[in-house]
Chains A and B, each alone.
Chain A
């Protein structure tokens, strides 16, 4: 069932009207509660329409044309679904989607496992846990530009600490540890950095989940002589699951858009091995200026993320209702 945009707005207006104290309405002569509500909502609605809805609709329109932003004087011709057809038949774009899926999958797996483990450990409230929590949170507080440059130096084979550490453990010469220039290692180099930066975020959400579990449930389990292992699988994990799933949703959407880190670390290389969808899109839109085609690609990405997120949210709601 599709809910129309206007009905959402009307519902919001009604809700605002109901929430507006009657004394306010009385003070503004000649205006009904509904009118006052509209008055308050109008700026936000206008901004929303101007900043979100209009560009989206404009992009949809452009996706059916041959428009190129660098040739504003050229006639704009409708091409039907030509741009969509071309995007969907472009092997480079499928390669980029595959690369993106690879990043999203592995970053989510690693960040969830490590993030939950860290949250579980921090939740034990050992001595100094507040200090370690702060230390762990530092990476996510840094700017991605700083993190990208920082790790580029760490990965440097000649002077980088990462290569030195790996060499120390494995005995491989540092000059052979080329994380960013090697086809096999470059994707993992990015996954490592993203995991390092965003695991604390997942940890925070999981920690909130763990702390929301009431103590009396564990106390009841203790009374029933449930083992710690049993308590973990029957109480901790199921009750923290909605939070874990929420973290997965946030990180999934974010990582689908991954751009800055990849640009700074590899520029999409070696070759095109780390060229994620957002880089392909940026190149099509702002380097090749194939605006129409780039719009079609953006709409496809939007629909894909929106669709997957919706399915996921439904699953999340089911888990919450259990």
Chain B
């Protein structure tokens, strides 16, 4: 009996030891959560250097964009320990800061000499700060991104089309600098036969389910003078969100949708827009800059056939910010190791390699380096675009604000219900209700 007890005790000890061993090994492992897309693959490659330098293994949890917000906001809200580091969307920063999901990084930055002045200012405001324009940092700018445009350079360079276009509009067929020019080009190409195939003017965002049409519409509205609120009185939206200029901007977006998009464009976002371009359907495409490296490499439409240009201007000149910052999840048991990753990631040489691998660095020393603008065919357009960015609300209630805008603008632009003024008036009402619920007005 005694022997049996000893044997059982020995077995139990061995079991406990064997199950503890992997845990010990995992103490040097960090999990980074992000969306599943090309830049994430570049980050996997880049992070091998971190592992080589520190011995910390990197594990990655990548989720497709369609489930990205659902999956990770659930994880944060439930105080999950899955992610030690998270590259969260720019709009999440307010909620994540106020609800304690992210570790505040000010002391860490001060201690390690990481200066936010070293990063592109707009990315610091967009990805790191909450409240906005205050020195409270919750993330390090990680992936710069912005809505811009690609165009079929090879079509634009066809002599017969150049001639016809100049005769019709009185100026050269070239990357547009204003929205009037953009629409002229889109109309010019709409339903045109090129190489025996019917092509269309432009692919623009119209997606209803998540955030697509809002990203597209704001990209245009900013340039007409749309503002989220009275600069002198926060959350005062009447006459700013629904100003006469904003109404004209929204009308323009609808006119672009009606005149110049391919058939079946009622639910287009990043993937569908890129697909429309890749399949040779459209002359121009609105899309986030992260798609550019992949499109440039595309055998059918990339290389010499593709050109890039920043958002055109109208009364003002802005572009919708995309991209994300990297944060340490406050529920992680490995905060110190996670902070070490951020320290490593912030280094100029790592950031330079990040750009080389296909990530979009936000570090000034990278983007302002001599030769950066010519380092990739899309580098100049990226630089120009990042200089004019503006972001959607980053309020903790951003999701409710986003849903309201998705509904109002889709109703007008795609479904054709009501007028632009009614859509924006309705939006002011919806947003006011959200802020009333939050006790902000």
Residues of A whose CB lies within 8 Å of any CB of B are 69-73, 92, 155-158, 160, 174-176, 178, 180-183, 263, 266-273, 275, 283, 286-290
Residues of chain B in range 394-437 having any CB-CB distance to chain A below 8 Å: 396-397, 399-400, 402-403, 407, 410-412, 414-417
Interface: B209 (CB within 8 A) = yes
A183 x B264 contact (CB < 8 A): no
Contact residues in A for B210 (Cβ distance below 8 Å): 267
Partner of B100, one of A73, A160, A270, A289: A73
Contact residues in B for A271 (Cβ distance below 8 Å): 208, 407, 410-412, 414-415, 417
Interface: B302 (CB within 8 A) = no
Q: What residue in chain A is nearest B74 (Cβ atoms)?
A: A286
Contact residues in B for A286 (Cβ distance below 8 Å): 70, 74
Contact residues in A for B407 (Cβ distance below 8 Å): 92, 271-272, 275
A273 x B400 contact (CB < 8 A): no
Q: Mark B231-268, 1 if CB is under 8 A from A, else 0.
A: 00000000000000000000000000000001111110
Main secondary structure of the interface of A (DSSP, over half): loop
B209, B396, B407, B417 — most chain A CB neighbours (10 Å)? B209
Determine the distance from Cα of A288 to Cα of B404 in the docked complex, in whole angstroms: 10
Give the top 3 A-B pairs by smallest Cβ distance, nearest first.
A181-B266, A267-B209, A271-B411
Residues of chain B in range 69-113 having any CB-CB distance to chain A below 8 Å: 69-70, 73-74, 77, 79, 95, 98-100
Q: What residue in chain B is nearest A177 (Cβ atoms)?
A: B263
B264 x A270 contact (CB < 8 A): no
Known: A70-B99, A70-B396, A287-B402. 8 other contacts (CB 8 A): A157-B263, A178-B263, A181-B266, A183-B415, A267-B210, A269-B209, A269-B415, A283-B403
Interface: B391 (CB within 8 A) = no
Partner of B414, one of A174, A181, A283, A290: A181
A71 x B264 contact (CB < 8 A): no
A174 x B77 contact (CB < 8 A): no
Partner of A158, one of B69, B264, B397, B412: B264
Main secondary structure of the interface of B (DSSP, over half): loop
Q: What residue in chain B is nearest A283 (Cβ atoms)?
A: B403
Q: What residue in chain B is nearest A273 (Cβ atoms)?
A: B415
Determine the distance from Cα of A268 to Cα of B79 in the docked complex, in whole angstroms: 31
A155, A271, A289, A290 — most chain B CB neighbours (10 Å)? A271
Residues of B whose CB lies within 8 Å of any CB of A are 69-70, 73-74, 77, 79, 95, 98-100, 207-210, 262-267, 281, 396-397, 399-400, 402-403, 407, 410-412, 414-417
Partner of A183, one of B209, B399, B403, B417: B417
A176, A180, A269, A272 — most chain B CB neighbours (10 Å)? A269
Please, could you name 17 A-B residue pairs with CB atoms under 8 Å apart, sorted by A?
A70-B77, A71-B98, A71-B99, A92-B407, A157-B264, A158-B263, A178-B264, A180-B267, A263-B209, A266-B208, A269-B266, A269-B410, A270-B208, A270-B411, A286-B70, A287-B400, A287-B403
Partner of B264, one of A92, A180, A268, A275: A180
B77 x A267 contact (CB < 8 A): no
B413 vs chain A, min Cβ distance (A): 9
Partner of B267, one of A158, A181, A289: A181
Given A174-B263, A288-B403: A270 and B410 within 8 A (CB)? Answer: yes
Determine the distance from Cα of A273 to Cα of B73 in the docked complex, in whole angstroms: 28
A146 vs chain B, min Cβ distance (A): 16
A73 x B99 contact (CB < 8 A): yes
A181 x B265 contact (CB < 8 A): yes
B79 x A178 contact (CB < 8 A): no
B99 x A269 contact (CB < 8 A): no
Contact residues in A for B69 (Cβ distance below 8 Å): 287
Determine the distance from Cα of A287 to Cα of B77 in the docked complex, in whole angstroms: 12
Contact residues in A for B208 (Cβ distance below 8 Å): 266-271
